[in-house]
Structure 1
Amino acid sequence: MSQVTVYVEDQQRALDFWAGKMGFTITRDMPYGENRWIEVEPPAGGTRLVVTKADPQWPTLVKDTPNYVLFHADDIVKTHEELAARGVEFTQAPTQQPWGWSAVFKDDEGNLFHLGQR
């Protein structure tokens, strides 16, 4: 998989979150119609996020329910501490699950994501 799309209301606010707080690299930021085509990549590389302006007529995800994007951490406790210190809001701190560790964080657009460690 090379890309996953994240729908947002404010592309600049989302870019500030992913590049600033999460430490992702901006790999593409260019005009795209009335909006922008923005791609960001995790610090260790891998699947890029495409930060796309959501159309107000599209259905939205169920609020307060994490989407199915899972980020991996080698040390979830350390990663949680580092991201929280940068201002990333966690709705669930790292907890032990039968399959490994899990945490949930919120971007500045209100989208929820999983952080996991096996």
Structure 2
Amino acid sequence: MALSISQVTIYVEDQQQAVDFWTGKMGFKVTTDMPYGEDRWIEVEPPGGGARLVIYKADRDMPALATDLPNYVLFHADDIVQTHAELAAKGVEFTQEPKREPWGWSAVFKDDAGHLFHLGQR
């Protein structure tokens, strides 16, 4: 059996702010943007392809992610030091600079809505 991850959903308060962050600062491209009820169904894809992020409008039943802890989305970089420098130059805020861990390199960055994400390198 062959399985892969096709999408990961990120719940946000402001979909356009999230699109602006992921495309403008992170270099992702919008692959789907269409009406979805009163909101939009938006998918963005990383520059190298792979699993897409669904930028979903948070509501009472599906609240936005906690902003005080990193969520479970881990991004991988071939060169975390270089990637950190490039993203920081574009205005991405890092709450943890790249550091060596027993399992590899780790950093934590924040999107414009305050959600935290891991950036790793093995």
**TM range, normalised to the smaller chain?**
over 0.9
Aligned to 2:39: 35
- Given candidates 67, 71, 77, the residue that maps to 1:73 is 77
**Partners of 1:70 and 1:45 in 2: CA distance:** 15
Per the alignment, in what secondary structure is the counterpart of residue 91 of structure 1? strand
Unaligned runs of 5+ in 1: none
- Given candidates 91, 108, 111, the residue that maps to 2:112 is 108
C-alpha deviation, 1:60, in angstroms: 5.0
- The structure 1 segments of at least 4 consecutive aligned residues displaced by more than 2 Å after TM superposition are 56-63
Per the alignment, in what secondary structure is the counterpart of residue 69 of structure 1? strand
Deviations 1:41-92 (A, max 9, x none): 0000000000000003545544320001000000000000000000000000
Unaligned runs of 5+ in 2: none
Structure 1 pair 97–4 and aligned structure 2 pair: CA distance change class (3 A): same
Letter in 2 for 1:96: R
Asked if 1:99 is matched to 2:64, the reply is: no
Q: Which region of structure 1 is more displaced relative to structure 2, 57-66 or 40-49?
A: 57-66
Question: Are 2:29 and 2:46, in contact at CA under 8 Å, matched by a contact in 1?
Answer: yes
Letter in 1 for 2:12: V
- Given candidates 88, 94, 105, the residue that maps to 1:90 is 94
Structure 1 pair 25–59 and aligned structure 2 pair: CA distance change class (3 A): closer
Aligned to 1:26: 30
- Given candidates 51, 56, 65, the residue that maps to 2:55 is 51
Identity of aligned residues (%): 75
Aligned to 1:64: 68
- Given candidates 2, 5, 27, the residue that maps to 2:9 is 5
Count of residue correspondences: 118
C-alpha deviation, 1:102, in angstroms: 0.3
Give the TM-score, by structure 1 length: 0.96
